[in-house]
A and B are shown apart, each in its own frame.
Chain A
């Protein structure tokens, strides 16, 4: 486990027992990481760690499937349920 991840894990579990500044000062990390920690800056920390991916966390949708008309090209009207293929459309 990297020193940074170990530190974050400890800080997450034991926030009251950690002398934050002293712990950060003692960590074997580079200057950018130390600065990000002292600034309590998650974005800077990600940059210093070298992983700035934007992770997607959507795992719910309000509908079971996308609306069908959205899949149709342009503004082509959706066929009515009782409108069989090949049936002439009323003018």
Chain B
């Protein structure tokens, strides 16, 4: 997540030894930094486009990497956070490479989730913590346990179902608020969290009442952390 900081020695070794590095990161300076580790870094950004379904962009990203693998090159994909957490492209690319007989591995990284626990100072093991993609909570029937923490990813896209826009509207976000209000009171505190990507920066930890969320400033890398609304209830044991 953070330039210079959250890169394991093993992952750095993969980057340094690659014939080509494909990057999908959140900060231009991080791209420049990756290029200093391996000048054969290629940004995947041009594959995004307004009006193009994100699912197609993701397929194109995997296909772009696989083309280089098939050409016999040693390929590394560098993705924001953990490459396997809320990240379909790395999983798809690795699965396809393996299906075609190529050796492919995923190195774990430090995700927004990891930074969130450290910056906000709570332990998901204390009362539990569920993670959902924000829109999925809206589009599907999900059971929320309000005695545990709830973390919603991609909150800035909540309710955007065309997959052709890069942010959602306050009206779309209000639908998510309305969904959460089925389980939480309007004044329940929720925290907008954004990890710092540069070592000179600070994380954003902004707590607001749930009912105001639709009009809050949300970014692509915003995550919503919702604390428990009730205590753990003792189980009725025989």
* Given A40-B202, A58-B154, A62-B139, also A70-B162 (CB < 8 A): yes
* B65 beta carbon closer than 8 Å to chain A: no
Interface centre among A45, A59, A67 (most CB of B within 10 A): A59
B32 contacts A60, CB within 8 Å? no
- Could you tell me if B201 and A42 are in contact, using CB atoms closer than 8 angstroms? yes
Check A61/B58 contact, CB under 8 A, given A45-B200, A51-B29.
yes
Given contacts A42-B197, A59-B87, A2 and B79 within 8 Å (CB-CB): no
Give the interface centre of B27, B32, B133, B200 by most chain A CB atoms within 10 Å.
B200
Q: State whether B201 touches A62 (Cβ < 8 A).
A: no
Say yes or no: A58-B201 contact (C-beta < 8 A), given A5-B36, A13-B5, A52-B28. Answer: no
| A62 engages B53 (CB within 8 Å) | no
Interface mask (B178-222 → A, CB under 8 Å = 1, otherwise 0): 000000000000000000111111100000000000000000110
A42 to B219, CA, bound (A): 15
The number of chain B residues touching the other chain, given as a range, is 35 or more
CA of A62 to CA of B79 in the docked complex: distance in angstroms?
Answer: 18
- Contact yes or no, B199 A15, CB < 8 A: yes
B residues engaging A (CB < 8 A)? 2-6, 24-29, 31-33, 36, 45, 48, 53-55, 58, 61, 79-80, 86-90, 133, 135-136, 139-140, 153-154, 157, 161-164, 166, 196-202, 220-221
* Contact yes or no, A62 B162, CB < 8 A: no
Whether the pair A59, B89 counts as a contact (CB closer than 8 A) is yes
